[in-house]
Amino acid sequence: MLTINNLHAAVESQEILKGLNLEVKAGEVHAIMGPNGSGKSTLGNVLAGRESYEVTAGEVLLDGKDLLELSPEDRAREGVFLAFQYPVEIPGVSNINFLKTALSEIRAYKGLPPLEARDFLKMVKEKQQLVEFDAKLANRSLNEGFSGGEKKRNEIFQLAMLEPKLAILDETDSGLDIDALRIVASGVNHLRSKDNAFIVITHYQRLLEYIVPDFVHVLYKGRIVRSGTKELALELEEKGYDWIKETVGAENAV
Amino acid sequence: MITQVTESLYNQLTRAYEEDCAVQAPHPLGELRKLAFERFKQTGFPTVKWEDWKYTNTQPLLNQPYTLAGADQPLHADLALAAIPGLDAYRIVLVDGVFSEALSDSVPVAGLTVLPMEKAADELAFTKHFAEYADKTDNPFVALNTALFKSGVFISLAPNAVLDKPVHIIHVAAAETPLFTQVRNLYVVGRHGEMEIIESLVTEDGAAQYLNNHVSEIVVHEGGKLQHYALQVAGESGNYLNHTEVYQEKHSLYNNYNCSFPGASFVRNNINVRLDASEVESHLYGIALTAGNQFVDNHTIVDHLKPHCESYEWYKNITQDTSTAVFNGKIFVREDAQKTNAFQQNNNMLIGEQSAVYTKPQLEIFADDVKCSHGCTIGQFDPEALFYLRARGISEAQARVLLVHAFAFDVTSRFANDMVRKYVEHLVEEGL
């Protein structure tokens, strides 16, 4: 589904990603872990198309299509979804109206007519239940006055509504208490299917107890330096990121 | 002393006034007109040296050649320009500032009197209120208007009358020669009367450049309620000086919703509200969405004269291209006006990199037990919000519409009339 080859990206001409390779197939969940400043969030933002991130080399293909050529909205319409680390509050834009607009535009891109109001509301109801999102919040202004946990849950609700091919969760666990974490994770688990894929970016192993990944990658200094299965996350938890720093340092010395 | 008058137009106006006096003597308003014209002559037209006209240079407008009276009344006008979908209203039409009885609905409603201003001089409400309020201000265009107005709308609502439908006043500009018109309105809402007035300002295709000097005096008697909408949807040849002077009695409510959209080249609105009794409530809401090289200036005064009153003012400006918006909001809380509750907010969103906003919130408090607040912000599109919306598949253009919509929401959500609210929201979308 997603192929990243030798991706280099810079912010304000400082190179952050330095040759990243990753292959994600449909039905898979990949976890990306790494110490602060290793480039985890940069990866999420580059994939979603944030303009302040400049890609200096490499390619990203989504089902063979060059993702880097597309505007952020077209990437979303092609099926990329970034769950934001810091979802934005937009007073005056109702959550529902926002979702309706987004869904209509995505459908129009695919040549589908907009959903009938009745079908749309039915879908809202179903997905709300699926991800345990409070109906009262859905009718409020987008994220306005939401708690940190409510904002993250709204991201998962949007994810459920827009049904992307590839979802990137950017530190969705940050700032969540254990209950909120469980709800968010259970939402994601409900949405997993053989047709979609997830990239879960996280600093801690904790989230991966709830969203069990097929693969775990360790990002360090802009490159993936270790890949493995979920046991790698446990090992990392036990030994700490210093272990990565030391071993990678040693390998480079050799 | 006359400062910097525009000779030709000034002389032209003087001549017109003198001819008027000669022909119509004795004019029923002769003395009032004379005093008004003298006031105008004392000051002349305002210049940018006047604090209230600092950002608003009328000289280029006044240097244009104008005729002072239009040709004969046309029998039709493109009223579709002012259509508000779904609105059922009594329609009053003025063409080039002249009340058109042919184009206006007759209003056979008990308690409601609608007349051309020139035929209202014998009405009790007219003799009691005409030139009693606006002429106390130092706006020279009011004095000029009092001295020279030819027509306008007189509305009087009897005590306890509650109007079933709004009155929609459509001001059409149609003249093919440049015209400087003086339009004078007087709206009087009787005790415990309730009504809604919607005014639309429109320009017919092919109308020459014109300057419209509107003065409206509004009186809301004890317990009366007036919802007043002004929708500026005129075309590029339109230039407007609008002065609205509101006088409120005890327990009355006056709501003003003032909206400007891309089109008219020059708009100056003065809206003054005098809360001259206790337990009065006034709300002023405004949206100005500007584009091209437009200039829109809203000057408001909320004058708290008596205790226990409440005023609430919220203006939003959205400027595009090379347009300019001005907001000047002045609140007075006089010595007697204890327990006043006054709120004012002005938010500005600059979209055009070459656009400008001048804003001046002012508060003068002479009482010591009041609650007042005012605030003002200037900003741009939030790039974070824009990216967030786009990352969900919403196009950049649509995302901008959503964000402007959201910005205007604080004001549009206050509109009491749903049809007008939807119409305004639609115009906001269209104007982007």
Considering the domain architecture, whether residues B171 and B120 belong to the same structural domain is answered as yes
Beta carbons of A198 and A167 less than 8 angstroms apart? yes
For chain B, helix (H) and strand (E) counts, in that order, are 8, 19
**Lowest mean pLDDT: which of A143-147, B70-74, B292-296, B405-409?**
B70-74
Nearest chain A alpha carbon to B388: A88
Output the pLDDT for position B24. 60
Average pLDDT (B212-235) is: 98
Average pLDDT (B321-346) is: 97
Whether residue A27 is contained in a domain is answered as yes
Considering the domain architecture, whether residues B326 and B405 belong to the same structural domain is answered as no
pLDDT at residue B1 tops 60: no
Considering the domain architecture, whether residues B312 and B431 belong to the same structural domain is answered as no
Output the pLDDT for position B26. 64
Whether residue A97 is contained in a domain is answered as no
pLDDT at residue B223 tops 90: yes
What lies within 8 Å, CB to CB, of B83 at 6+ separation is: none
Tell me the per-residue pLDDT of B360-415, one tens digit each, with 9 for 90 and over. Answer: 999 999 999 999 999 999 999 889 999 999 999 999 999 999 999 889 998 999 99
Residues of A in contact with B406 (CB under 8 A): 90-93, 141
Which token pair is A108? 């129009």
Whether residue B93 is contained in a domain is answered as yes
A192 and B CB contact within 8 Å:
no
From its phi and psi, is residue B393 left (phi > 0), alpha (psi between -120 and 50) or beta? left
pLDDT at residue B25 tops 70: no
Whether residue A225 is contained in a domain is answered as yes
Output the pLDDT for position A160. 94
Considering the domain architecture, whether residues B230 and B309 belong to the same structural domain is answered as yes
C-alpha distance from A238 to closest chain B C-alpha (Å): 36
Domain that holds residue A203: 2-86+148-253
A248 and B CB contact within 8 Å:
no
Report the distance separating Cα B107 and Cα B109, nearest Å. 6
Work out how many domains chain B is built from and give that number. Answer: 2
Count CB neighbours of B57 within 10 A.
14
**Closest CA relative to residue B337, chosen from B364, B363, B362, B304:** B304
C-alpha distance from A54 to closest chain B C-alpha (Å): 15
Q: Quick check: helix, strand or coil at residue B36?
A: helix
Whether residue A99 is contained in a domain is answered as no
Confidence of residue B76 (pLDDT cuts 50, 70, 90): confident
Per-residue pLDDT of chain A (254 residues; tens, 9 = 90+): 999 999 999 999 899 999 999 999 999 999 999 888 899 999 999 999 999 999 999 999 999 999 999 999 999 999 999 999 999 999 888 899 999 999 999 999 999 999 999 999 999 999 998 888 888 888 889 999 998 889 999 999 999 999 999 999 999 988 888 888 998 899 899 999 999 999 999 988 889 999 999 999 999 999 999 899 989 988 888 888 888 888 877 666 55
Considering the domain architecture, whether residues B262 and B126 belong to the same structural domain is answered as yes
Whether residue B331 is contained in a domain is answered as yes
Whether residue B342 is contained in a domain is answered as yes
C-alpha distance from B86 to closest chain A C-alpha (Å): 22
**Pairs of CB atoms within 8 A across A/B:** 73
- State how beta strands A80-83 and A29-33 pair: unpaired
Beta carbons of A157 and A135 less than 8 angstroms apart? no
Query: Quick check: pTM over 0.90?
Result: no
The burial class, CB within 10 Å (0-12 / 13-18 / 19+), for B282 is buried
Backbone angles phi, psi at B48, to 5 degrees: -70, -5
What DSSP state is assigned to residue A115? P
Considering the domain architecture, whether residues B427 and B306 belong to the same structural domain is answered as no
Work out how many domains chain A is built from and give that number. Answer: 1
Supply the CATH number for residue A75's domain. Answer: 3.40.50.300
Domain that holds residue B95: 70-381
Q: How far is CA B280 from CA B162, B299, B370, in A?
A: 19, 21, 15
Average pLDDT (B42-49) is: 94
Output the pLDDT for position B7. 57
Whether residue A93 is contained in a domain is answered as no
- State how beta strands A80-83 and B310-319 pair: unpaired
Number of Cα atoms under 13 Å in the Cβ half of residue A231: 1
Considering the domain architecture, whether residues B343 and B395 belong to the same structural domain is answered as no
